[in-house]
Amino acid sequence: MKFTGNNVLVTGASRGIGAQIAKSLAGFGLKVWINYRSGAEAADKIKEEIENAGGNAAVIQADVTVEEEFLAAIKTIIDADGELSYLVNNAGITKDKLALRMSVDDFNDVISANLTSAFIGCKASLKVMGKKRFGSVVNISSIVGEMGNAGQTNYAASKGGLNAMTKSFAKEAASRSIRYNAITPGFIATDMTEELKDEVKDEYIRNIPLKRFGNASEVAEAVAFLLSDHSSYITGEILKVNGGLYV
């Protein structure tokens, strides 16, 4: 895949989908900044794996819900590399509960981790990429933001908001040639889906036309495409990677 830019920041890349995105993008020749909040050891391991495979990576700690920390991380990258070509807002959490049992804190925590953090990243990237009139951002959303899901009102709201926010950033940033897109994965085999009960997993798989959960690498390939030169006329798109579960 062809990339005009040189480096990328992937938030929440110490494990799961983010770690695979980091590895795939390094495989395409980008320098990858692996962001983590608390998993320093896991992030170092991903960096090592990338370097052992001949890639270029660095780790950067920041809680992306805290504006000062996220902005400081971006400044560190600009100081080191002179630019930020690409951003993947991947960090996310769940705090599932039926709405009647969900506290306002549970709601706000998920909005902050999944939506406000991406707002901080999208806004900061518009500023730094705007100076070069080049850049591409991918937000990792979810099928749940499109379909809704019982027990996930907070998560659904965060991801539905992320889709709408992506389209709005795309409109504001197009005149500076910066593209904003989102991916809505269905059920992908990671720690997040590992928490689901077996009977819930079986029920989901029954309903997925491709009859399996996706792999993180299948999300990473779509991210690479949306960052790359191959998608140069695509902005404001919400790309489904869901095995046909929601079409």
In contact, 31 and 7? CB cutoff 8 Å: yes
The amino acid sitting at 207 is N
Tally of residues, the chain: 247
Would you count residue 153 as binding ligand NAP (CB under 6 A)? no
CB closer to ligand NAP, 193 vs 217: 193
Stretch that binds ligand NAP, among 10-18, 72-80, 164-172, 200-208 (CB under 6 A): 10-18
Taking CA atoms, 234 is separated from 1, 95, 134, 179, in Å, by 16, 33, 14, 7
Give the separation between CA 68 and CA 119, rounded to whole angstroms.
Answer: 13
Taking CA atoms, 109 is separated from 30, 68, 156, 222, in Å, by 32, 18, 13, 28
- Please tell me which residue in 36, 86, 155, 180 is annotated as part of the active site: 155
Would you count residue 65 as binding ligand NAP (CB under 6 A)? yes
- Per CB under 6 A, contacts with ligand NAP among 131-150 are 140, 142
Would you count residue 88 as binding ligand NAP (CB under 6 A)? no
**Annotated catalytic residue 204:** no
CB closer to ligand NAP, 191 vs 198: 191
- Per CB under 6 A, contacts with ligand NAP among 33-62 are 35-39
Would you count residue 191 as binding ligand NAP (CB under 6 A)? yes
Taking CA atoms, 43 is separated from 11, 32, 71, in Å, by 11, 12, 19
Q: Give strand ranges (E) for the chain.
A: 7-10, 31-36, 56-61, 86-89, 135-140, 178-185, 238-241
Stretch that binds ligand NAP, among 2-10, 16-24, 80-88, 227-235 (CB under 6 A): 16-24
The amino acid sitting at 45 is K
In the complex, least distance from residue 131 CB atom to ligand NAP, rounded to whole angstroms: 25
CA proximity to 231, closest of 244, 217, 241, 221: 221
In the complex, least distance from residue 175 CB atom to ligand NAP, rounded to whole angstroms: 28
Binding residues for ligand NAP, how many (CB under 6 A)? 31
In the complex, least distance from residue 159 CB atom to ligand NAP, rounded to whole angstroms: 7
Q: Which residue of this chain has its Cβ atom nearest to ligand NAP in the complex? A: 16
Catalytic residues: 155
Binding positions for ligand NAP, rule: CB under 6 A: 11-12, 14-18, 35-39, 63-65, 90-93, 113-114, 117, 140, 142, 185, 187-188, 190-193
